[in-house]
């Protein structure tokens, strides 16, 4: 009686079995999760600190409105100053909240967190000589870049979430009359603006490897965008150029009063995606230090 044997095909050189590919994918997935987790934790304290500042300022805005509303009732701001504050007026509770928190302070906080996180994503790791160690894990450059971008987005969203929490406390405290839609609009528009400049920092850092240069470029562009949106509308002939500024899509629709503006959020999101699409080509071709 002859024993029957079952022949199993063997994989030749350079051919990976399905099991090997699955194991490799799991290993890469775990490594990617570790990279995201570390990147989030690295700057989470900063994000929470800035977010808590938004919350505290929100409470102060609510607490100060009742005793100050009569003072501001008949106050008329100069046109240039009102434009600087995104058209805000101090005579109404919504205008007061916009002027003191939402039109400048909140987006500035989100941008600072986004830029610092984005600059750290690649340029910071490169300068600290830790980039090589991270890329030695089973994570390719592009997934690594996306993981760092995800961490930056988490940091900015943390600031925006605590801003919304501050508005939620301030509204009943000062009888500000801000709707839930308005709170959501302020949070989403703040997050979208911060993420856009954070993405700019990620890409500049990927191209330069210099954290200082990255902070300077992304911060300079944010300042220029703010100036364009604030001062170009003062001239009738130049007012239309304000639409070239991301800041225009942050506050021209007055999200605190009117809620999220889907069209403007899509413009900010699309701009971020277009800029992020530059990353793979830049990051893949450059010789990295560290």
Please report the pLDDT score of residue 259 as a whole number.
96
Q: Are 159 and 110 in contact (CB under 8 A)?
A: yes
Q: Output phi, psi for 244, to 5 deg.
A: -80, -10
Residue 226 confidence (pLDDT): 93
Tell me if residue 218 falls in helix, strand or coil.
Answer: helix
**Local structure of 237: helix, strand or coil:** coil
129 CB-near residues (< 8 Å, 6+ apart):
289, 290
Q: pLDDT value at position 188?
A: 98
Q: Which pLDDT value is given to residue 42?
A: 85
* Dist CA 207 CA 15 (whole Å): 35
The three-state secondary structure class of 190 is: helix
* Tokens (6 digits) for 157: 């969203």
pLDDT value at residue 135: 63
Tokens found for residue 111: 């941008």
Chain segment 89-147, per-residue pLDDT in tens? 777 899 889 988 999 999 999 999 999 999 988 887 777 666 666 666 666 778 888 88
Nearest by Cα to 100 from 158, 178, 156:
178
Report pLDDT for 274. Answer: 96
Q: How far apart are CA 106 and CA 124, in angstroms?
A: 25
Q: CA-to-CA distance for 166 and 161, rounded, in angstroms?
A: 9
- pLDDT of 194 reads 97
Residues of the chain with pLDDT below 50 are 1-11, 14, 20-21, 23-25
pLDDT at 151: 93
pLDDT of residue 280: 77
pLDDT score at 277: 92
CA dist 250 and 212 (Å) reads 26
Q: What pTM was computed for the model?
A: 0.84
> With helix as H, strand as E and coil as C, how does the chain read?
CCCCCCCCCCCCCCCCCHHHHHHHHHHHHHHHHHHHHHHHHHHHHHHHHHHHHHHHHHHHHHHHHHHHHHHHCCCCCCHHHHHHCCCCCCCCHHHHHHHHHHCCHHHHHHHHHHHHHHHHHHHHHHHCCCHHHHHCCCCCHHHHHHHHHHHHHHHHHHHHHHHHHHHHHHHHHHCCCCCHHHHHHHHHHHHHHHHHHHHHHHHHHHHHCCHHHHHHHHHHHHHHHHHHHHHHHHCCCCHHHHHHCHHHHHHCCCHHHHCCCHHHHHHHHHHHHHHHCCHHHHHHHCCCCC
| Coil vs helix vs strand at 179 | coil
């Amino acid at each position: 009686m002859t024993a029957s044997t079952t022949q199993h095909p063997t994989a030749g050189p350079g051919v990976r079995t399905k099991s090997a590919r699955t194991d490799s994918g799991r290993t890469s997935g775990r490594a990617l999760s570790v990279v995201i987790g570390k990147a989030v934790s690295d700057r989470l304290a900063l994000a929470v600190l800035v977010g808590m500042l938004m919350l505290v300022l929100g409470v102060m805005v609510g607490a100060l409105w009742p005793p100050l509303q009569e003072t501001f009732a008949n106050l008329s701001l100069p046109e240039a100053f009102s434009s600087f504050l995104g058209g805000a007026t101090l005579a109404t509770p919504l205008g007061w909240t916009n002027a003191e928190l939402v039109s400048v302070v909140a987006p500035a906080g989100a941008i600072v967190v986004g830029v610092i996180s984005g600059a750290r994503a690649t340029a910071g790791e490169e300068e600290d000589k830790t980039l090589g160690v991270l890329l030695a894990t089973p994570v390719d450059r592009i997934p690594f870049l996306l993981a760092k971008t995800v961490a930056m987005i988490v940091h900015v969203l943390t600031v925006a979430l605590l801003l919304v929490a501050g508005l939620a406390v301030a509204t009943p405290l000062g009888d500000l009359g801000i709707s839930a839609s308005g709170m959501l609009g302020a949070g989403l528009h703040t997050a979208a603006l911060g993420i856009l400049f954070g993405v700019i920092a990620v890409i500049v850092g990927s191209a330069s490897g210099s954290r200082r240069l990255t902070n300077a470029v992304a911060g300079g562009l944010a300042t220029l965008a703010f100036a364009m949106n604030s001062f170009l509308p003062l001239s009738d002939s130049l007012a239309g150029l304000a639409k070239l500024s991301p800041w225009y899509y942050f506050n021209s629709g007055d999200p605190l009063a009117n809620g999220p503006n889907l069209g403007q959020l899509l413009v900010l999101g699309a701009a971020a995606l277009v800029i992020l699409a530059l990353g793979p080509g830049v990051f893949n071709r450059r010789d990295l230090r560290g």
